[in-house]
Copies of this chain bind each other. A is one copy, B any other.
Amino acid sequence: MSAPAPEGYDPHAYAPFAVTVDLAVFTVREARLHVLLVERGQEPHRGRWALPGGFLLPREAAEDAARRELAEETGLGPGAIGALHLEQLRTYTDPDRDPRMRVVSVAYAALLPDLPEPRGGGDAASARWWDAGSTGPLAFDHDTILADAHDRIGAKLEYSCLATAFCPAEFTLGELQQVYETVWGVELDRPNFRRKVLSAPGFVQPVDGPPRRTGGRGKPAALYRAGDATALHPPLLRPQRTDASPSGPEGRDR
């Protein structure tokens, strides 16, 4: 911003860049973290899967572009899109990240409750949810972006109330715990999780009256909705892995 800028400047002399947004849109379905991918309809990387995204319009802010692309890919209404939490991840600027030309991309992460299959909108040949751990090699540097997004989401769950964004408007504590377990890839103790969530002011609030969820087996659970807090005090720290062994189904390290 304070760099050499000639008095009579030629925008193109300083504007050899295209700017895009890339979106890592996550959801939890069937106890697995899923990410929305689109199949590329043209070169480069035609036929490869990629994060949804696209070029900024000439007078558009990056977050607006992200919401626009998200609406195109998911078919969500403007109300849902407008209220959605979009987290700017970081910006990827490797000169060779796009073989066509110099492209700088601002990456965002978004969290959605489980939704029906997306409609393949825009230029994408198709769009669908993928298990976030089983995506093949993606186009461009999207493997890196996806990994960074997963890391960031996992970290934000610790000290923010973001986990409720993965849940529908009303949810049980079991569903909320499932979000943590899925994103972190660990098992948590149910009574302890419950104690910490309920003692964090403003994280969740009980739905009035005693309505209870039906449909599953086991005792019906009380329903909650997201509270008005945005930060989590005290934080809900994930159990630190003390060794390098991948977590088995038994959980509980050591």
Report which A residues bind B (CB closer than 8 A): 1-5, 7, 9, 11-12, 14-20, 22, 38, 40, 42-43, 50-56, 58-63, 69, 88, 90-91, 93-95, 98, 100-106, 122-124, 139-140, 142, 152, 155-156, 159-160, 230-231, 233-235, 237, 240, 247, 250-252, 254
Contacts and interface: CB of A to CB of B under 8 A. Distances in A.
A106 B3 CA distance: 13
A38 B103 contact: no
A62 B93 contact: yes
A18 B11 contact: yes
Nearest to A20: B1
20 contacts: A1-B54, A1-B142, A2-B51, A3-B54, A3-B123, A7-B42, A9-B100, A11-B16, A12-B12, A19-B93, A56-B93, A58-B102, A59-B95, A59-B102, A61-B94, A88-B91, A104-B104, A104-B106, A160-B252, A235-B237
Interface of A, secondary structure class, is loop
A124 B17 contact: no
Name the residue among A3, A55, A231 with the largest chain B CB count within 10 angstroms.
A3
Given A1-B139, A2-B40, A2-B139, A101 B14 contact: yes
Number of copies: 2
Nearest to A234: B237
B4 A123 contact: yes
Contact of A254 (B11, B156, B231, B251): B156
Contacts of A247: 230-231
Contact of A2 (B19, B53, B235): B53
B61 A103 contact: no
Contact of A38 (B2, B40, B94, B101): B2
Contact of A19 (B19, B42, B55, B252): B19
Contacts of A17: 15, 17-19, 56, 104
